[in-house]
Structure 1
Amino acid sequence: MSEPSHEQIVSGLRDKPPIALAPGPRLDAERPGSLPLPPSTVWDLPGGTAWVYYGEGNTGLVRPVIFADGFSTGPSELEFSWQIMEFGDYALISELRRRGHDVILLGFHERSASILDNSRTAQAVIARAIAERLGDTPLTVGGFSMGGLVTRHALARMETDRIDHQTALYFSYDSPHRGAWIPIGLQAFAHYIKDLDSRFSDQINSPAARQLLWRHIAKWDDTPDQSDERAAFLAEMAAVGEWPQRPRRIGVANGVADGTGTDVRAGELALEGKGLSIVGTKLYTQAPGPDELVAKLRVVTLKTNEVRTNGLPSIDGAPGGSLEGFGILADGLNALSPFLGFKTDVRIRSHCFVPAVSAVDIRDLDTDEELYADISSLPEDESGLDEFKLASRNEAHTLVTEELSTWLLDRLP
C-alpha cells in the first residue's frame, strides 16, 4: 500500500469535524430520541441568541433564570444545551419549568470569543429579561463553566456602570474561577499539527481559551505560563470588584470536597500513536518536578520532538470536573481513514479540567497541596462565593446531576 501524500493528509484532516476540547456527548454516544421543545420565544441579541421557555402555567416571563453557555468552538446550539441540561442524568429544564421558573438559555455566536465580548451579550439578555418580565420577581443569572465567568463579569460590570441588573442570585456550575487546565502535551500536539490542520490549534489559542487556561502555550515548544490575555482578564475582573456585590453568590462543583483525586496518576502514558503517520507520538499526564516529559511528538516527518515542563503540579488527577481531552483527540484521529495512518491508542481518556478548588474559588492551582486541599476543612469565607456545594464523587465537567441540581433549585428566588 502506498503512503498518503501531504495533500491527502491535509484533505483528510480538514474534511472531518475539528477536534474541539469541550464537554459533550462522545462520538459514539446515542443521540436523544426526542428533540428540544420549541421555545416560547427567541431573542436575537448582540453577539448571541436566547431561547426562552416559560414556566408551567406562565403566559410570559415571570421568574426568569438565565443559563449562559460554556466554552467550545463555533456558535451555541440549542440541541446541545438540551443534551446537557435535559437528556443527561437529570432533567433540569423540565424541573425548573415544573417549579414555575422561566428558563432562558443564553448562547453566543462564537463560544471561543473573549469572555469580555460575550459579557456584553449577557448584559443585553439581562436587560431584555427585565424589560420583558411580568411583575417584579428578581432575576437569577449564571451559567455553566465559562458561562459562569461571563455572567459573573456581566453583573459586576453593570454594577460598576451603575446599571440596575435586578438580580437576586448569581450561580456558577463548575466554573473555573481560578483557572482551567488542558494538559500541556495536548496543547503542544494541537500546535504541532497546525500546518496540516490549524483548527485544533486555533481553539487552544482562541481568546476564551487564553483567558480560561491557568497555563497556556501558543506554540508547541513554548514554556507554559499565564497568557497575557489571562492577565488582562484578571485585571479587568479586579477593576470591576472581582464579583457582583448585590446578588447572593452560589456555586456547585463536579469535584469532591475532601481532596481525594481520581485514579489518573502523574507521569503515565495517556495516548500513543500507532499509525504510520503518527507512530512515535506519546502524550503523558502531568508530573511534578523539573524537566518532566509530557509529550513526544512525531507527525508525518521523521524527527521526533520532546516537550518538557518544570514545576507544574500533578493536576491531571486532581479532584474536580474532568474532560475527556485525551479521549476526544484519540476519537478524532481514529475516525480518519486508516489510509492516512493516524491510528491512536488511548490509555487514559480523561484529565481534570476544572479543579474543585477553582470551581468554588477557594485555592489556587500552583501546588499539589492547594489542588488536593480538603475543602471541607477550610473556612468558607475564603471563597468569593457565599455558599457552595461539591459533588459526592469526581465526575465529568458540567455533568448535570440530581445531587447538584436540587441543591441549586432549592435556592432560587
Structure 2
Amino acid sequence: MGWFPLRPRKLGVANGAADGTGRNVPPDEPVFEWSAVGGAAWAGVRTQPDRGVNRLVGGMRAAPMWASTSYTSHVAAFDGAPGGTLPSYGLLADALGAPIENRYRSACFVPSVSALALQYDPVEWPVDLYLDITALSPEQSQLDDYHGDAHNSEHGKVTATLAEWIVDQLVK
C-alpha cells in the first residue's frame, strides 16, 4: 500500500546487564536436593557445569522402580551468565517442597550474547558469555542495532531502560 518503510531496521534488546555483569550462580553447584518417603523418592539438581564431558546436572528416582540421571557435555555454564532469567529451578523446588537458596531460584534463560544475535559459530561457541556488549560495534551482530539492560531481569520483561531505548529507535 506504500506506507511500509523501504528499509526496515532489525533491532534487538536483551534482558541481561549490558556491561557483562553476571549473576551469583556459579557453575556445577548443587541447587537443591529433595527426598520423601524415607528416601525412596529423591530429586537433585545442579547448575550447568562449564563444558566437559558427561557432567552431571541432575536426577530423580523412585526406588526401586525407576531412576533417571541427566548429564551434559561441551556446554558453557549459562546459569550465571548475563541475560534474561527464568525461575525454573525455583518453580521445580516449590512444586516438590524442596528448600532452595534465593540466588538459585532463577537462572539465565537467554544469554545477552544470544539475544543480541552476535555473530559467532553456534557449534564451536567461541563467544564469552560475560562480554561487555556496550563496547561492541553493530557489525558484530546480525541486527542493525541493539541494547542491553542496566541489570539482569526476567526474560521478556520490558524494563524502563529497554522501553526508553525502543521508543528512541522508533522515532529514527
Same fold (TM over 0.5): yes
Mapping for residues 12-411 of structure 1, pairs under 5 Å: 138=3, 166=4, 168=5, 246-276=7-37, 279-288=41-50, 289-299=52-62, 301-331=64-94, 333=95, 342-347=96-101, 348-364=104-120, 367=125, 369-411=127-169
Distance of 2:55 and 2:65 partners within structure 1: 23
Name the one with the larger helix percent. 1
CA contact (8 A) 1:294 1:307 kept: yes
Relative distance call for 1:363 and 1:268 in structure 2 (3 A) is farther
CA contact (8 A) 1:282 1:297 kept: yes
Distance of 2:15 and 2:129 partners within structure 1: 14
Distance of 2:40 and 2:10 partners within structure 1: 47
SS at match of 2:105: coil
Give, as a single letter, the amino acid of the residue that structure 2 aligns with 1:314.
A
| Runs of 4+ that moved beyond 4 A | 300-303, 363-369
Distance of 1:272 and 1:402 partners within structure 2: 37
Distance of 1:324 and 1:361 partners within structure 2: 23
Measured after TM superposition, the shift of residue 300 of structure 1 is 6.3
CA contact (8 A) 2:36 2:42 kept: no
CA contact (8 A) 2:147 2:162 kept: yes
SS at match of 2:36: coil
* Higher relative contact order (Cα pairs below 8 Å, separated by 6+ residues): 2
Gaps of 5+ in 1: 1-129, 131-135, 139-165, 169-244, 334-341
Indicate the RMSD between aligned Cα atoms, in angstroms: 2.5
Measured after TM superposition, the shift of residue 398 of structure 1 is 1.2
Gaps of 5+ in 2: none
Relative distance call for 1:278 and 1:352 in structure 2 (3 A) is farther
When normalised by structure 1's length, the TM-score is: 0.37
Distance of 1:400 and 1:377 partners within structure 2: 23
SS at match of 1:345: coil
Q: How many residues align?
A: 165
